[in-house]
Amino acid sequence: MRDVIARDIEYWDDGTRLLGHVCAPTGERAGTTVLLLPDAHGVTRHMIGIARSLAEEGHAVFVADLWGNGLLPAGQAEFGPLIGAMAADRERWHRRVGAAHQALLAQPETTTTSVALLGYCFGGSSALEYLRGGAGIAGVVSVHGGLDVVGSDWSEAGRAPVLLCTGDGDPMATAAMRTALTSGMTAAGLDWQLHVYGGTVHGFTSPTAKDSPRPDVVAYSARGTARAWSTTLRFLRETDAPQPGA
């Protein structure tokens, strides 16, 4: 197991204070740096744990604060309006991810401009939106991302490959939504993969989903979590080379 350094990072977006987190191995690193976009609960211990696991695999990781001031919404009643506000102002949404991207590149642990985005739930939606807006990045992984808030126009999209890991019963990523998304990416000439897990719904990697009051909508799946993790690591190894425009 590699030794890992970790610290909190303060950065800014248009006057909003943001509190991110860096995890990186002390020794040799993999070529791809990871911008980790958290689920709607924010920069939680769970997300920092994912960053640490990635660092132990050799990746330098920056965990983005999408809400600002380190906000940790407790549940749907709190993060629902936050997601709605971002979806209603896509320029602000793209800029917020871009601020994290630039903050990552400013860290001394970042020895490459080859940056892959890994997003969970709303973070997965955010990763897809950032790519759709034309971002120059090396790859995108969306794990149970909400496809219901992702825009449909992929004509200005960046050229990075995409990995989607989702549940077949996810109401935020229905079969129709998946088809619309992949059709848009195909039309834009993107290289994409879609991994759909049977008997699986939304938020399947989240510890908070273990006690979900609506397991038909949100529920933890150990098998889905393991599958998405191994697939993500393989995808990151494949995106080792810098992409044009990154």
* CA–CA distance, 37 with 48 (Å, rounded to integer): 11
Q: pLDDT averaged over consecutive 10-residue blocks of the chain (246 residues)?
A: 92 97 91 95 97 96 97 93 97 98 94 90 98 96 98 96 98 98 98 98 95 94 98 92 44
Structure tokens that stand for 58 in this block: 């050799």
What residues contact 242, with CB distance under 8 A and at least 6 apart?
Answer: 112, 113, 114, 138
Q: For residue 16, list its beta bridge partners.
A: 13
* CA–CA distance, 121 with 123 (Å, rounded to integer): 5
Residue spans of alpha helices (H) in the chain: 45-56, 76-88, 90-105, 122-132, 175-187, 222-238
Whether the model pTM is above 0.75: yes
CATH architecture for the domain at 4-238: 3-Layer(aba) Sandwich (3.40)
CB 187 within 8 A of CB 203: no
Neighbours of 69 (CB within 10 A): 11
Q: Taking the CA atoms of 79, 82, 84 and 87 in sequence, report the sign of the dihedral they define.
A: negative
Q: What is the pLDDT of residue 45?
A: 97
- 179-223 pLDDT per residue, tens: 999 999 999 999 999 999 999 999 999 998 998 999 999 999 999
CB 165 within 8 A of CB 232: yes
Tell me how far CA of residue 80 lies from CA of 11, 24, 73, 127, 205, in angstroms: 24, 32, 9, 18, 19
